[in-house]
């Protein structure tokens, strides 16, 4: 039974719409990020570091909403690419501080061209994207707010 009121209809599932949208949008990023030598997850790490550095691995994990075990290999690959360094924090030797290298800072200039390319590739109006991003962020904050200590 697949009527307009079937709560189990695939096209009525939020999880399905989000999963397909996520895969599709991240797929748009792939060819745009390739010239920068970044994968989408690495790009997210770099965005967080371009906002503020150094950051502890824990701070980065919280900001990106990733488990440290998931984040650590990403940071190691960025370090191998010469974009970041990992070192013990001067203020707390228990913390691993992640910081941009000169090459990592310079990459930001190239990355500034990514958002306009993504918008063009998506073929969606900027105001529509901003509204969608605001709505998704509001839902994320209700479901899993970032702890106050993460800022």
Residues of the chain with pLDDT under 50: 1, 150-151
Number of residues in the chain: 151
The residue whose two tokens read 């691993």 is 96
75 closest CA partner among 53, 93, 94, 91: 53
> What pLDDT is attached to residue 5?
82
pLDDT value at residue 151: 42
pLDDT of the residue at 145 = 79
Are 147 and 62 spatial neighbours (Cβ–Cβ below 8 Å)?
yes
Q: What is the CATH number of domain 16-143?
A: 1.10.10.10
d(CA 99, CA 64): 16
Whole-model pTM: value is 0.87
Instruction: Count the alpha carbons within 13 Å of 91 in the hemisphere toward its beta carbon.
Output: 4
Q: Where are the domains of the chain?
A: 16-143
């Amino acid at each position: 039974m697949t009527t307009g009121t079937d709560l189990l209809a695939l096209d009525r599932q939020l999880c399905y719409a989000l999963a397909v949208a996520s895969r599709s949008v991240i797929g748009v990023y792939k060819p745009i990020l390739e010239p920068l030598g970044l994968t989408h997850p690495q790009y997210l790490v770099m965005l967080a570091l371009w906002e503020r550095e150094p950051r502890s691995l824990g701070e980065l994990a919280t900001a990106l909403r990733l488990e440290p075990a998931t984040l650590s290999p990403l940071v190691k690959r960025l370090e191998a690419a010469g974009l970041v360094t990992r070192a013990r924090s001067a203020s707390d030797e228990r913390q691993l501080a992640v910081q941009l290298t000169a090459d990592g800072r310079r990459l930001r200039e190239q990355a500034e061209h990514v958002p306009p390319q993504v918008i063009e590739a998506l073929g969606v109006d900027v105001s529509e994207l901003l509204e969608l991003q605001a709505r998704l962020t509001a839902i994320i904050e209700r479901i899993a707010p970032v702890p106050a200590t993460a800022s």
